[in-house]
Amino acid sequence: FQFHYLLSEFSVLENVMLPAKKLNEKSHADIERDAMQKLEMLKIDYLANQRASRISGGEKQRVAIARALINNPIILMGDEPTGNLDSHNADNVFNIFKKLKEEEGLSLLIVTHDEDFAKRTDRIIQMEDGRIIS
């Protein structure tokens, strides 16, 4: 999530739906319903018809999370998910991840240089020069 890589010419809803369309295991109606549920869970369903180019950085981050969740993964990996966010939105992303872990049973693997973010997690593995140091 370090960069959202949303397609600016598509709506928020269309961006979230793309991975499920690619997987092609559900009908269009089911994919759209699932995408709306993910947007509702992240409290951004009101943005569904907005173009991705018209929303804020924090909103783009949540859209990227919804998109990552559309195919119901068992593990979610993030590379510096709060790297481009202000402290308010970084806090929001952390709380979303915590909720996903607690309520959805999702496992999270997050790579970050943000020590404040890391200290709030269940487990920290520190690496230096490609080696685990603690």
Q: How many CA atoms lie within 13 A of 58 on its CB side?
A: 14
pLDDT tens for the chain, 134 residues: list them.
445 789 999 999 999 999 999 999 999 999 999 999 999 988 899 999 999 999 988 899 889 999 999 999 999 998 888 877 788 878 888 888 898 899 889 999 999 988 888 999 999 999 999 999 99
DSSP the chain: --S----TTSBHHHHHHHHHHHHT-S-HHHHHHHHHHHHHHTT-GGGTTSBGGGS-HHHHHHHHHHHHHTT--SEEEEESTTTTS-HHHHHHHHHHHHHHHHHH--EEEEE-S-HHHHHTSS----EETTEE--
Q: At what angle do helices 28-41 and 57-69 cross, to 10 degrees?
A: 130
What is the fold of 12-132?
Answer: Rossmann fold (3.40.50)
Cα separation, 30 vs 45, in Å, equals 16
Q: Where are the domains of the chain?
A: 12-132
| Whole-model pTM over 0.95 | no
